[in-house]
A and B are shown apart, each in its own frame.
Chain A
Amino acid sequence: MSEPHPVDASELETVDPKLLHVSDEVAIEITGMNKWYGQFHVLRDINLTVYRGERIVIAGPSGSGKSTLIRCINRLEEHQKGKIIVDGTELSSDLKNIDKIRSEVGMVFQHFNLFPHLTILQNCTLAPIWVRKTPKKEAEETAMHFLRKVRIPEQANKFPGQLSGGQQQRVAIARSLCMRPRIMLFDEPTSALDPEMIKEVLDTMIELAEEGMTMLCVTHEMGFAQAVANRVIFMDQGQIVEQNTPYEFFNNPQSERSKLFLSQILGH
């Protein structure tokens, strides 16, 4: 399990609030969603509306269901009750809907999950070529564009095993972006990284936020939450216990559980 690792917010570039525009358009709507693993009630009555352009940080103790929640959004996990509507498409067992939503929603994992048998460039062009049917040349141009954006274009022809953790995670972000997703999900993207690599990944994510990407991010990086999030969701025991702006959440937590959690990760 990952240790909470709060980065001091002052280390990160400050973000111009004007760039962080939230629209009225609904990106994700979750109503009365419940999920069980066998007998274990892992998510209980989740209600959450995400507007386009929002940057939501999901925090909470280990095992509280944060990963499960965001994995339900692109159907890596199936929910048993309630409704999830992503970009106007309701998630059901219909494979067509699932594939459509998955190609609109990018996901970045804790352990990168790059494809080790493909080069960095091939990792980035695979899905555009096969899912979007983009011509190879165009897909490669797009891939190089995003690799430049995450600042590793010179690694394009290497294999993932030859890159550092931070570089691999940036490639993973670029790989998702190549599908031009409208929503990005991050599941503890920096928890498997050495401390000196965390910042390079967070910087990439901040740039993404500035461009107006809708982001749901499970993370313990409280500095990141303060710098870019417009909402923090605190989960415990499969439930949303508290939601607030980062400022209010960190300075004036309401529930006992949030206070305890914050004192554990912030108070030394």
Chain B
Amino acid sequence: MHDVSFVRHEMLSPQPAPASQVGPLRWARENLFSSILNSFLTIVSAAAVILALAHLWPWFAHSVWHAGSLRECREMIAQRWGEDATGACFAVIRDRWKQFLFGFYPSELYWRPTLSFVLLLAALAPILFSAVPRRMLWFSIAFPGIVYWLLWGGSLALPICVYAGFLVGMLVHRLVGPRFGSLLALIGGVLATLIWWFYLAGPVAGLLETILPFLTLEPVASKRFGGFMLSIVIGATGIAFSLPLGVLLALGRRSGLFIIQSICIGFIEFIRGVPLITLLLVASFLLNIFLPPGTNFDIILRVIIMVTLFSAAYMAETIRGGLAALPRGQYEAADALGLDYWQAMRLVIMPQALKISIPNIVNNFISLFKDTTLVAIIALLDPIGLVTSIRADSNWNGIVWELYGFVALIFFICCYSMSVYSKHLERRLRTDHR
């Protein structure tokens, strides 16, 4: 006979788990030494890492931070550590770090890019973190105009007039909308903005300048921009504009309106089929031929446009993937509730499609940022271009690792931050099982 009835009279108090089942010991056993083969691989890998560090270590340990030239560095290392000792000559970075940051920006004006960078962080905060008050977004919107003014100098009137173009467009859209329908309102708004920019913004800015002369900073030419400042200007602008442009292209490609669809497909396929370098060369040499003579279309602006278009094409395909992954029921539910197309896209479809695509979108951002180094090809002095020019200096001729290593390190920090942020965002937006 089995005894089927049971009553517990004393409740058990919680006990700590056995020491061998928790903590670092267990981790090591499970992850490093779970089998003979794994133990062997662990030991071999550890040996390889130690060997590599042992070779690299003297190079760092013998590094020289104060010297005027590579020859001086070498002499100091030989003197201190013996004839055939190796050592890093970080003196070059100490000597040239300002150039790495600002290129040939006038040194008495360094405060302007520095302030811009601080403002960049402030403008990013409300976009990146939900804890920051939403009202800060207004600053994020004003930020590009302020930074343009700070970096290139000139009168604040110009950015103000460019922004006014958006207001003009919105006003026309409001006025046309109720009477002539949403499509005409959209076309009218865009046209009004363009007309304002091309014909009215200039004179109005001129007028404004005479009224507010104190809002004028000393102008700095684009060719003096360089270093990480240039990378960040191109990268951040490209990132900021390629996402919305990519969204529009993706929507256009799925719109079912023949002409819009064809334009979007044509654009995406063309851009994806052409190397970025080609586009940059076009921006640098060919664009001037097509533009009316005498127009001064800034080289950095041209590069930004090309980088943005290039990235937007990839972004569009990424987002299209996200859109395709959404169940049809989401579109139908939004329609059935009476949301119009743009409301459905903005409130229901895009938030979900973008969320699905976060890893790929950030992937695009990272490659865009790294691709900014390609502008060295068209003689802009981004960090890579600067390395070339520093190495051409007779003082630092022959130095390689220190410079490229430094550039790589900074790029790694930037790109890795983006990657960490994307993981954070994915976690924050996870709503299925919390």
A173 to chain B, nearest CB (A): 13
Q: Contact check, A111 vs B337: say whether CB atoms are below 8 A apart.
A: no
Question: Given A76-B332, A111-B329, A130-B343, do A117 and B431 touch, yes or no (CB 8 Å)?
Answer: yes
Top 9 A-B pairs ranked by shortest CB distance?
A103-B338, A113-B333, A161-B432, A113-B329, A127-B337, A102-B338, A107-B336, A159-B431, A131-B338
Q: Contact check, A127 vs B332: say whether CB atoms are below 8 A apart.
A: no
Q: Contact check, B355 vs A117: say whether CB atoms are below 8 A apart.
A: yes
- Interface locus among B20-28, B256-264, B344-352, B398-406: B344-352
Q: Contact check, B347 vs A109: say whether CB atoms are below 8 A apart.
A: no
Q: Decide if B339 is an interface residue (CB 8 Å cutoff).
A: yes
Q: Tell me the B348-380 residues at the A interface (CB within 8 Å).
A: 348, 351-352, 355
Q: Contact check, A162 vs B333: say whether CB atoms are below 8 A apart.
A: no
Q: Decide if B433 is an interface residue (CB 8 Å cutoff).
A: yes
Bound complex: CA of A130 vs CA of B338, how far in Å?
Answer: 9
Q: Decide if A63 is an interface residue (CB 8 Å cutoff).
A: no
Q: In the complex, which residues of chain B have a beta carbon less than 8 angstroms from the beta carbon of A115?
A: 330, 333-334, 348, 352
Q: Contact check, B337 vs A162: say whether CB atoms are below 8 A apart.
A: no
Bound complex: CA of A131 vs CA of B348, how far in Å?
Answer: 13
* Sample of 19 further A-B pairs with CB below 8 A, known A159-B434, A162-B432: A74-B335, A76-B332, A99-B340, A102-B337, A103-B337, A105-B336, A107-B333, A107-B336, A111-B327, A111-B329, A117-B352, A117-B429, A117-B431, A131-B338, A131-B343, A161-B431, A176-B336, A176-B337, A179-B338
Q: Contact check, A131 vs B339: say whether CB atoms are below 8 A apart.
A: yes
Interface residues as binary, A154-169 with B (CB distance below 8 Å gives 1, 0 otherwise): 0000010110000000
A118 to chain B, nearest CB (A): 8
Closest to B337 in A: A127
Q: Decide if A32 is an interface residue (CB 8 Å cutoff).
A: no
Q: Contact check, B432 vs A116: say whether CB atoms are below 8 A apart.
A: yes
Q: Which of B332, B339, B432 contacts A113 (CB 8 A)?
A: B332
Q: In the complex, which residues of chain A have a beta carbon less than 8 angstroms from the beta carbon of B431?
A: 116-117, 159, 161
Q: Contact check, A76 vs B339: say whether CB atoms are below 8 A apart.
A: no
Q: Which of B329, B332, B347 contacts A126 (CB 8 A)?
A: B347
Q: Which of B330, B335, B351, B434 contacts A162 (CB 8 A)?
A: B434
Size range of the interface on B? 20 to 34
Bound complex: CA of A114 vs CA of B329, how far in Å?
Answer: 9
Q: In the complex, which residues of chain B have a beta carbon less than 8 angstroms from the beta carbon of A176?
A: 336-337
Bound complex: CA of A179 vs CA of B432, how far in Å?
Answer: 26
Most chain A beta-carbon contacts within 10 A, residue among B333, B334, B339, B433: B333
Q: Contact check, B432 vs A76: say whether CB atoms are below 8 A apart.
A: no
Closest to A110 in B: B329
Closest to A108 in B: B336
Bound complex: CA of A109 vs CA of B434, how far in Å?
Answer: 25
Q: In the complex, which residues of chain A have a beta carbon less than 8 angstroms from the beta carbon of B429?
A: 117
Q: List 15 A-B contacts (CB under 8 A).
A: A74-B336, A99-B340, A102-B336, A107-B333, A109-B329, A109-B336, A113-B333, A115-B330, A117-B431, A126-B347, A130-B343, A131-B337, A159-B432, A175-B337, A176-B336
Bound complex: CA of A111 vs CA of B331, how far in Å?
Answer: 13
Q: In the complex, which residues of chain B have a beta carbon less than 8 angstroms from the beta carbon of A131?
A: 337-339, 343
Question: Given A115-B348, A161-B431, do A102 and B335 touch, yes or no (CB 8 Å)?
Answer: yes
